[in-house]
Structure 1
Amino acid sequence: MKLNLKWFFTLLTAFFVQLSFAQEKTVTGTVMEDGFPLPGVSIVVKGTTMGTQTDFDGKYSIQVKTGETLLFSFIGMDTVTQTVGESNTINVTMVTSDSQLEEVIVMAYGQVKKKNEVTGSAVKVDGSVIENTPLVSADQALQGRVAGLQMATTSGTPGSAQEIRIRGISGIGGDLEPLFVIDGMPMINSNMGQDGLSTLSPLSSINSSDIESITVLKDATATAPYGARGAAGVIVITTKKGKSGGTRFALTTTAGIQNRAVRGLQMANGAQKEELFLESLFNDYGVAQGFTKDQTYNFYTANPGLLPNATASAAFNNLNAWKAAGSQDYDWAGKLTNKNALYYNLDFSAQGGDEKSNFYSSLGYNKTESIAFGSDFRRVTGNLAYDTKLTDKFRFKTNIRIANTKQNGIMENGSYFSNPMLTQYFMSPWYNPYNANGSYNTNVGSLHNTLYTISNNKNVTDLTRLMGSFGVDYEIAKGLRWNSTANLDFNLSDHNYYANPYHGDGVTPQGYAENIINKNFNYVIQNSLDYAFGFGKNKFNVKALMEYQKNKFTSLYGYGEKLAPGFDMLGNTSANWDASNTYNDWAQLSYTAMVNYNYDGKYLIDGSFRREASSKFNPENRWGNFWALGGAWNIMNEDFMENVNFIDLLRIRGSYGTTGNNGIAINSYQSLLGTSSYGGQMSYELGQLPAIITWESQAKTDVGIDFGVLNNRIAGSVAFYNSKSSDLLFVNNPITSTTGYTTKAINSGAMRNRGWEFELDIDVVRTENFNFNISGNFATVNNKILSMPYDAIQGEPMEIVSSTRIIKEGQPLYAWNMRKYAGVDSQTGQALYYINGHDGATTTNYGDAAVALQGESALPKYTGGLTLHFDIYNFFIDGTFYYSGGNKIYEDWATYTNNTGNRSYTYNYGTPILDRWQQPGDVTNVPKVISTTSTSEQVSTRFLHDGDFIRLRDVAIGYKFPSELLRNTHIDGVTVSVRGTNLWTWVKDNDLKYDPEVRADGFTNLANPPIKQVSLSANIKF
């Protein structure tokens, strides 16, 4: 055999070349996910597992050969493939797989469903949206982002409760607020402030940075599992939990300034009030007493005895004192406004875990000044969520949250003389807030110098809230799980009020102090069995749940008078002590069954049945039954849609079911006996008649279409809903006084809400480095009272009538009912009113005009939102608009602020009065000013305004630092942003000077107005 040298040398050369190429070397790098190092990644080389990296910083080091292929994999993420080249460094970024990216929604009792598995109406708002909205209460981030959700910021005082309505108002009496559920626990969200003071929402104790998502449940299949408490809708808050991998840290800090969102009603300055005051005297007495308008001041200076009355004389003396002091412009509104009020928030969190356990922990601090002088808010929060797998089948989980909030509140929402809003609008600009030595001037007529009372009184509410959730989960068999959870919510509110003895309410009692301690303990026990099974293309999920809820409330009140200088506590009082206490409790027991059926992802059926008992009703009427049935057809999954490539989502869904309402006071069904004092001795008095009352019921219908086309670049939904409430709870139904009582609680009457909801999301541009998205929603609501209780006294259906509104059959709730203003007589300057209440003939006699329905309600008929999002490379811009309208708003307190008569002797004029009638031929809507009693400020449509408005709710500009810039640091991600809240507001009615965001009752009020804010935020991950 001959050796072929040519082939020998060829093979030898190839061997050495291959040996050189395949030489092992060390490759290092970092595996990242969402800007964080991601330990726990499995690395595979040519099918051989090389090991799992468990370094806490996510860095790896591995021996490989040039040319080999590395596979990086992690549960729930796409596998990343990298070929080893000349470089010794390979950095990898992991992303969630497409199957994991599909949006999931948390439904009733923790059910997690994909969007195309939901048969009901539910809207999810991601936690990043909530976290980035720099407001004290997280629920405010929902405004403009959820179709059919109406929100009114009824007070801009930090920490105050917000008014939320989902698909309109569901009843006339009872609890009309939506149910809040945090991590599966139904919460108590009652105001923890005191009557007459700033409200304090328990939700303000929740750190928004701890929230993973908020889901708003609207229809029957979504809310019926919660039974009676779901009648007004359900807001499900899911907090953050731990994630597998090494410990990750995040630090977010935000600082900003706040001012009024709307300028508000402006009041006359000193010179303007002088002009109007003297003109009012001339209009009444100038001709008879022989002087012209320009001669009015000199005439009465020379003839003070001719002033019409003592009030006019006092006002003239105040004018002279103001002029003698130099006619300075004393801006009370400016003095009582905290311009550029500071906002500061700091959050620090850590999360991590491994295949058995995970945790999430956070600390938060918030300090927010009010735009009202002397008011602020401070919150400290702590949170720990821990989840561990004790065995292969047994899991333990807990979540503990604690918060302490302190609110320096103000007197608001009423005619309190120490209400700074009242002072701004009522105080005469002729009074100097300060004395010559710089001290506060307490000689300011019948009102208080609120600068003094706020500085020298004390009005503090300190709320500590502890929430705990403790649960176990056990896998009995494949697909069958048992879960037991105990949820605790404890609120301890300590309110201290002190009124100084020198000026204000405390003068007569020589100073007084109040101390109110409220304790509310709510606990919920839940036990459930979940069974998931299937055969073929059929899949079932079944849940059986028992829930028991108990709520206990205790209040202790103490009062005392006469305090020595320098003391402000109740224990320092020395006279007229008083004390009282309150205790009430209620309980609910329920059994719920839920079934979800899915056939091949095409046909879905959801059903639920809940039997519930409430201690608020007589034992014979205590149980109520609530159920719902919903279905959906995923048309896009049908075989005949296989070749229709441009449609990604097309589904029809519908539901029908019942919920209820038991939101009435405890013992409303019982015969009650009270005690009182008579002749210094204890006596008994009649309380209330026994009543046969039970659950208010609500039947809900919902039908909708969801769609998505062009790879979901255009997606949206259209839905119609109809909700009918029956057996309405009327606690104070009038009865004949021959019974010894005047009212009795009953179930009677019906009301309906119906409307349409539209949602649309469009990716206008979707590229790697530039994206532009538009999303919006629009919703209508038509409210109508179908029937009212029968009034045995009047012999006809009951009508609830006030000076401005009426509740009656065939009308919407809160229908405006008043005289109709017809403008001003151009020859005489007198106010005109339509005699028949609508049109035609007019009269100047207020009493001759008929009171009539004005065809409008206080309830908005439509609401909506529009969101724009841009991201260009590492820059992003977001903006959200909110709009509301179709309602009328009544300008409460206009009888004072827009009074053209003698009330303005004592108080001030609003600047709209400057447009008053002055001479024959003037065409204006404001009557002439007079010095006698005027009727033009009494209730009429003169002060009824269109409520339509658009608000730039939120806008942000930010920058995310690229990872390349941070590679050599210990920082994994940095995002900075500038954000504005309520920066711009458009109001349809130019005559509406107040902020248009008012309560459902439709009245402007003397409360701290909504704020606009500009803030700078930085988020650092490491």
Structure 2
Amino acid sequence: MNVKLRVLSAGAIFFMGASMFAQKKKSDTTETKIQEVVLVGGVKLDPAVKLGSYSVVSKANFESTPVASVDEVLNGRVAGLTFSTNGGDPGSTSMITIRGVGSLIGTPNPLYVIDGVIVGKGSDSSQVMESWNPLASIDPNTIEKVAVLKDASATALYGARGANGVIVITTKRGKFNQKTRFNFSSDLSVQNIAYDKQKYMNASEYLQWGGMMYVNSGVATDLQDGIAQFSYNQDYDGHTNENWQKAVQRNNSTVNTYNFSATGGGENTSFRIGGSYYENEPLVLNSKFNRVSVSTAIDHRITDKLNINYIGNFTNVERNTYDDGGAYRNPWLTNWYIAPIYPVYDKNGNYNQSNLGKGNENANFNPVAIQNMDFMTGSIKTFVSSLGAEWQMAKGLYLNSLYGVQYQALDEKKYWDPRIGDGLNYGGYILQSRTSTFDWNWNSSISYRKIFGDKHDFQVYVGTEYQEHKYYAMGTQVDHLSKPIPYVAFATNYLQPWEERLKWTQISYYSRLNYTFDGKYNLAGQIRRDGNSTLGNTKFGNFWSVAGSWSVAKESFIPESINELTLRANYGELGNIPYADQWGPQYNAYALVSPTGLYANDAATTIATPGNELLKWEVSKQYNVGLDFGLLNNNISGSVDVYQRKTTDAIYSMVTAATSGGPGSYFKNIGTILNKGVEATMTFKPFNKEFKWIIDANFAYNRNTVEDLIDPTYIGLDGGTGNNMRAVAQGHLLGEYYTYVWAGVDKTTGAGLFYTDETRTATTTNRLEAKRVWQGKSPFPKYTGGIKSEFRYKNWSLSAFFTGQFEYSVHNRWQGYVLSDGSAVNNQTTDALYDSWTPDNPNASNPKQLLNNPANASGPSSRWMRDGDHIRLKEARLSYSFGKMFKEAVGIDNLTVYVRGVNLWLYTFDKNLTFDPESNSNAGGSGWVGKGLYDYTSPLMKSMSFGISVDF
């Protein structure tokens, strides 16, 4: 089924009911208020005067949801936003792109702003844990709405840090003149792996595979002889059939969430206070993620012209996690590196460490022992707070000022017991670190609004903003513990400690002018000058945007059945620094040195990076043309946007000449990246009386290419992390697959074949004799979409939410190991036994299995590429609200009960895709390299939950 048919299939659901008669209904002023977004300096994005492209996700999508991080909720709900995670372990980092990837390095994530506090791009600052997502410190239940800003008109006021889009998070507030109201909610969720079609061998299958391999290699005369020899050589005890994956897991993961809040206010003061406890016991033994959150919001009218507000959110996360990288410590690699013929415990009931694979280097890595005796912990405290004021100095003249801070402290510890695994080699090992980041921003602006003759509406803003980021990290490593106790005091050998201090600053000046004529014709222009300390000689840049819109629906010639019809267009140029929120590269204009111990008994240093005084801003040049419409009293409404985003002077990490002791790389402006696409959103209300049916849908197309490089012949492979299968090159998709082309299996000999070049005519059995070929696919989907169908009747509500991603490729980094064609005797997937070439099975998909197979057909190639195209049932929910029934009986305003399922179903169009296509590798850092790369990180979870919410 090609991608066009797949999209049309989704479209058939999307447009279902469009022709039904839509009932008349008064416009919802509450919805209009929800859509309003407050930006820098008090600038408001008014939905009635829409100039830019942005989407708003309401609080209903975040309340009582069993997720650790708020960014998970956005997946599929916003056109043009693509989400994937670096692991299903709660608190893992994620990748969010809005309208494609605009930089070659650094995180492609948008800028996050919480109640006016700029908190960065969700970058990982952990030292010990595999990854940590700072957004996991935010309690989703405190969120009022999330606005996703997409184009230059919507993001320009955030200047250099908003080129990849901006996500503005607004938390809940109290209400004036409202008696105090309380809410309590609780949710219990049971989770397990959402999608995993990989089937590993049991003991019988593993021995048969070994016997077949011995026969194919001429070592054994027949299968029974091969099984006997293989069993003997692998030290099989004759009866064990162990499922190692199950041994390192709980039966299910559980999540418990408890929330309490109080809101209210008098004539001059409103407040909201809240607290929550989130407890997650993931699938892997002894792992946990517990979060305690406290939030406060106070608004006070000092006079009728002076208002102040304070918002504070504090969270404390306690996390027990594990190594899910490419190591024998990874519990998700267990099924591969330990065969099912070896038991967890020896005959004395102790952990089996002496017989886990004869001759294998992993013989001492019993994963059950590692999960029970080693640990990797993190304690993360986060405080996000803002203090704001608005002063009306005269009629139409306002002063806005906001001071915001984010402080985060990570205390991390890794312990390897001296009796097992890695600890045996070190006599025990402890790594302990403390990392803190402190961000603050101060923004002040003056605005003036004047209306002339009831038709001319002018509004001007002038402001300044200062941002500062400080990073501090220190740590120590020790080994050879005198006792197996996880404290540094028991170490007899102290390894080299480290300490780092980093700082960058940014100062900005901005102005915005809005003009509306007759309530129908709108113009806006904004300019911002940013200066950033991490750049070379060109620290300052000027960035701007212009926008216009025409409210056609307000013209007299438009019939009343058309409630909204607005044409929009804008263009802007924004600066970008792709590494600004990463912990390392803050002093790129200068040559940096690092200590290297002693040289001739003197302290020595070496150049770590050479620096580049010519390093300058990336510039994102964007245009957007859009149409918003509403018909039949907005029972049919939506928008369509066409855009282009071109990043010039894209920054890349360049490798220096290989000299002894010389620096390895430096940053340089080298090229141009292009994103072009179309987005559409639509809402249908086929029935809108007592029985309501609401359909919300979105669709997006984006093509992400490298348009130009200073060296047009340069091909930058993705490195060992991505198996060197994808690359950056001029004229190709960003991250396009560039690898050897698999030609199948020789039906006569059983050898693996590869096409020698792009003509796909001649073949070879030696992969390295073949030529790499561009595959025309990348890990970034060209098409994405989401559709939600909701039914409401009296107190009942039933909804289903589907997401989809199409026309992209993914691959399993470890596939060549778990289906090695005999080059390794670790456990294999069942395809090695049932779908490998034999004289009786010449049409098999996999080559002849040979002992110590030298053919390297299992190496990186298109053999392991899979179509990532899929449709997922992201959420299904059934709820009932008791309403007045309980209020009259026990004084409760409302009681709502619900059941909810998340990630319940996944349909993949490639029958050979055995892993979740939304999984990323955390080994790729914060850049694009980890995208679409399955690395046996923690899988995504599906869940079923039951919850209640009580208002009183």
Alignment check: 8 A CA contact 2:80 2:784 kept: yes
Give the direction of change, closer, same or farther, for the CA distance of 1:688–1:97 in structure 2 (3 Å limit). closer
Which residue does the alignment assign to 1:18?
none
Which residue does the alignment assign to 1:439?
350
Which residue does the alignment assign to 2:547?
630
What displacement does 1:195 show? 5.3
What displacement does 1:425 show? 2.7
Which residue does the alignment assign to 2:894?
973
Amino acid at match of 1:975: T
Which residue does the alignment assign to 2:485?
567
Amino acid at match of 2:143: I
What displacement does 1:107 show? 4.6
Amino acid at match of 1:392: D
Which residue does the alignment assign to 2:582?
none
SS of 1:855's partner is coil
Which residue does the alignment assign to 1:485?
402
Alignment of 1:565-644 (within 5 A): 565=483, 567-618=485-536, 620-641=537-558, 644=559
Structure 2 CA distance for aligned equivalents of residues 99 and 799 of structure 1: 52
Which residue does the alignment assign to 2:341?
430
Which residue does the alignment assign to 2:463?
545
Which residue does the alignment assign to 1:295?
225
What displacement does 1:436 show? 2.9
Q: 1:919 aligns with which of 827, 832, 839?
A: 839
Alignment of 1:399-548 (within 5 A): 399-412=311-324, 414-443=325-354, 444-445=356-357, 446-447=361-362, 448-536=365-453, 537-548=455-466
Give the direction of change, closer, same or farther, for the CA distance of 1:556–1:190 in structure 2 (3 Å limit). farther
Which residue does the alignment assign to 1:366?
278
Which residue does the alignment assign to 1:38?
none
Amino acid at match of 1:762: F
Give the direction of change, closer, same or farther, for the CA distance of 1:362–1:133 in structure 2 (3 Å limit). same
Alignment check: 8 A CA contact 2:126 2:435 kept: no
Which residue does the alignment assign to 1:242?
174
Alignment of 1:940-979 (within 5 A): 940-979=861-900
Greater Cα radius of gyration, structure 1 or 2: 1
2:740 paired with 1:819: yes
Which residue does the alignment assign to 1:102?
32
SS of 1:964's partner is helix
Cα deviations across residues 805-857 of structure 1 (Å, max 9, x unaligned)?
A: 22111001111111111111122211111122452222223233222112211
Give the direction of change, closer, same or farther, for the CA distance of 1:99–1:876 in structure 2 (3 Å limit). closer
Which residue does the alignment assign to 2:191?
258
Alignment check: 8 A CA contact 2:767 2:856 kept: yes
Cα deviations across residues 890-919 of structure 1 (Å, max 9, x unaligned)?
A: 221112101111302x44445455211121
SS of 2:245's partner is helix
Give the direction of change, closer, same or farther, for the CA distance of 1:100–1:832 in structure 2 (3 Å limit). closer
2:951 paired with 1:1021: yes
Alignment of 1:29-178 (within 5 A): 98-103=28-33, 104-109=35-40, 110-178=42-110
Give the direction of change, closer, same or farther, for the CA distance of 1:416–1:145 in structure 2 (3 Å limit). same
Q: % of aligned pairs identical?
A: 30
What displacement does 1:191 show? 4.4
Cα deviations across residues 781-804 of structure 1 (Å, max 9, x unaligned)?
A: 11111111238xxxx556547531
What displacement does 1:176 show? 2.0
Q: 1:379 aligns with which of 287, 291, 313?
A: 291
2:619 paired with 1:697: yes
Amino acid at match of 1:417: Y
Amino acid at match of 2:337: F
Alignment of 1:837-856 (within 5 A): 837-856=758-777
2:824 paired with 1:929: no
Q: CA RMSD in A?
A: 2.1
Which residue does the alignment assign to 2:587?
667
Alignment check: 8 A CA contact 1:762 1:773 kept: yes
Cα deviations across residues 488-509 of structure 1 (Å, max 9, x unaligned)?
A: 1110100011110000111122
Amino acid at match of 1:1004: Y
Which residue does the alignment assign to 1:308?
none
SS of 1:146's partner is coil
Give the direction of change, closer, same or farther, for the CA distance of 1:457–1:584 in structure 2 (3 Å limit). same
SS of 1:700's partner is strand
2:208 paired with 1:208: no
SS of 2:938's partner is coil
Alignment check: 8 A CA contact 2:145 2:169 kept: yes
Cα deviations across residues 36-73 of structure 1 (Å, max 9, x unaligned)?
A: xxxxxxxxxxxxxxxxxxxxxxxxxxxxxxxxxxxxxx
Structure 2 CA distance for aligned equivalents of residues 281 and 238 of structure 1: 64
Which residue does the alignment assign to 1:757?
679
Amino acid at match of 1:403: T
Cα deviations across residues 926-966 of structure 1 (Å, max 9, x unaligned)?
A: 11211132412011111011110111011100101131342
Alignment check: 8 A CA contact 1:122 1:215 kept: yes
Structure 2 CA distance for aligned equivalents of residues 190 and 704 of structure 1: 29
Alignment check: 8 A CA contact 2:673 2:706 kept: yes
Amino acid at match of 1:163: M
Amino acid at match of 2:852: T
Q: 1:721 aligns with which of 605, 625, 643?
A: 643
2:181 paired with 1:270: no
Cα deviations across residues 72-122 of structure 1 (Å, max 9, x unaligned)?
A: xxxxxxxxxxxxxxxxxxxxxxx9995454353215324333323121100
Amino acid at match of 2:468: K
What displacement does 1:873 show? 1.5
Which residue does the alignment assign to 2:794?
873
Give the direction of change, closer, same or farther, for the CA distance of 1:159–1:797 in structure 2 (3 Å limit). closer
Give the direction of change, closer, same or farther, for the CA distance of 1:739–1:832 in structure 2 (3 Å limit). closer
Structure 2 CA distance for aligned equivalents of residues 175 and 847 of structure 1: 33
Structure 2 CA distance for aligned equivalents of residues 581 and 739 of structure 1: 22
Alignment check: 8 A CA contact 1:174 1:729 kept: no
Which residue does the alignment assign to 2:572?
657
Aligned length: 897
Alignment check: 8 A CA contact 1:273 1:909 kept: no
Give the direction of change, closer, same or farther, for the CA distance of 1:119–1:883 in structure 2 (3 Å limit). same
2:260 paired with 1:332: no
Alignment check: 8 A CA contact 2:737 2:776 kept: yes
Structure 2 CA distance for aligned equivalents of residues 283 and 739 of structure 1: 49
What displacement does 1:392 show? 2.1
What displacement does 1:887 show? 0.8
Cα deviations across residues 454-499 of structure 1 (Å, max 9, x unaligned)?
A: 1111210000011121122211011111122211111010001111
TM-score, normalized by length of structure 1?
A: 0.85
Q: 1:893 aligns with which of 811, 814, 836?
A: 814
2:218 paired with 1:285: yes
Structure 2 CA distance for aligned equivalents of residues 849 and 196 of structure 1: 40
Which residue does the alignment assign to 1:884?
805
Which residue does the alignment assign to 2:8?
none
SS of 1:322's partner is coil
Higher relative contact order (CA 8 A, sep 6+): 2
Structure 1 CA distance for aligned equivalents of residues 561 and 769 of structure 2: 67
Alignment check: 8 A CA contact 2:248 2:284 kept: yes
What displacement does 1:317 show? 3.2
